[in-house]
Structure 1
Amino acid sequence: MSSWCAVYVDVGYLLASAATRVTGSSLRSSVEVDYPALVRRLVEQVETDSGLPVLRVNWYDSGSRPGGQPDHQQDLIGLLPRVKLRLGRLSYAGEQKGVDVRLGLDLALQGRARVADVVYLVSGDDDLTEAVEEAQGAGVQVRLLSVPGVTGTSHAVSKHLRRAADDELLVDAETIDLCVRSRALAPGLVPAPGESDDAADELVAADDSVVVLNPVDPDPTVDPSATAEPSTDEPGLPEPDVAAPETGETVPRSRPDGIPGPSPAVFGRLRASEVVLPEPLTPVAAAATEAGPGLWDAVAYAVVSSWCRTATPGSLAELRGAHPTVPGELDRALLLDLSSRSGAYDIDDAARHGVRDRFWHHVGRIRLT
Structure 2
Amino acid sequence: MRVRSHCSVFVDAGYLLASIATRVTGTSLRSGIHVEYRRLIEALIAQAQELSGLPVLRVHWYDSAKNAVPDAQQERIGELPKVKLRLGRFGVDGQQKGVDLRLGLDLVTHARNGAADVFVLVSGDDDLTEAVEESQVHGVQVVVMAVPTVAGKAHGVSRHLVRAADELVTLSPDAIDGAVMKVEAPAEPASATTARPAPVGPTPKDIASSIGRPTSSEPRPVVVYSSSTGSVSRPTHHDDLLDDPSEVVAAVVDRVLQSLERSATAESWSGLERGRPSIPREIDKALLLDASDALGIYDLSDHTRYELRDQFWNRYDEIRT
TM bin, normalised by shorter chain, reads 0.7 to 0.9
CA contact (8 A) 1:88 1:96 kept: yes
What runs of 5+ residues in structure 1 fail to find an aligned partner? Answer: 186-209, 216-243, 250-272
For the Cα contact (< 8 Å) 2:12–2:61, is it kept in 1? yes
Q: Is residue 2:109 matched to residue 1:109?
A: yes
Does 2:163 correspond to 1:211?
A: no
Match of 2:243 in 1: 291
Could you tell me which residue of structure 2 aligns to residue 7 of structure 1? 9
Match of 2:315 in 1: 362
Any residues of structure 2 matched to 1:89-168 within 5 Å, and which? 89-91=89-91, 93-168=93-168
> Does 1:278 pair with 2:208?
yes
Q: Count residues in correspondence.
A: 289
User: Are the aligned partners of 1:105 and 1:131 in contact in 2 as well (CA < 8 Å)?
Assistant: yes
Farther off after superposition, 320-329 or 55-64: 320-329
Is contact 1:125-1:157 (8 Å) kept?
yes
Q: In the aligned structure 2, how far is the partner of 1:81 from the partner of 1:23?
A: 29
SS of match in other structure, 1:62: strand
The 1:136/1:87 distance shift into structure 2, 3 A limit, reads same
How many Å apart are 1:98 and its aligned residue?
2.0
Distance 2:91 2:304 in 1: 25
**SS of match in other structure, 1:32:** strand
Aligned match for 2:23, one of 13, 21, 24: 21
Contact 2:211/2:254 (<8 A) preserved = no
Q: CA deviation at 1:348?
A: 3.9
- Cα RMSD between the aligned structures? 2.6
| Percent identity of equivalent pairs | 47
For residues 338 and 330 of structure 1, do their structure 2 counterparts lie closer, same or farther at Cα, with a shift above 3 Å needed?
A: same
> Aligned equivalents of 1:298 and 1:94: distance in 2?
22
**Residue correspondence of structure 1 range 1-369 to structure 2 within 5 A:** 1-63=3-65, 67-91=67-91, 93-185=93-185, 210-213=186-189, 215=190, 244=191, 248=195, 274-276=203-205, 277-279=207-209, 284-285=214-215, 288-292=240-244, 293-365=246-318
Whichever residue aligns with residue 169 of structure 2, its letter is L
Report the structure, 1 or 2, having the larger helix content: 2
Assess, with a 3 A threshold, how the Cα gap between structure 1 residues 169 and 280 changes in structure 2: closer, same or farther.
farther
Letter in 2 for 1:212: E
Unaligned runs of 5+ in 2: 197-201, 217-238
| TM-score when normalising by structure 2 | 0.80
Residues 284 and 296 (structure 1), Cα distance of their counterparts in 2 relative to 1, 3 Å cut: farther
Per-residue deviation, residues 89-135 of structure 1 (Å, max 9, x unmatched): 23455432222221111011111112111101111111111211111
Secondary structure of 1:111's partner? helix
CA distance, structure 2, for counterparts of residue 304 and residue 281 of structure 1: 8
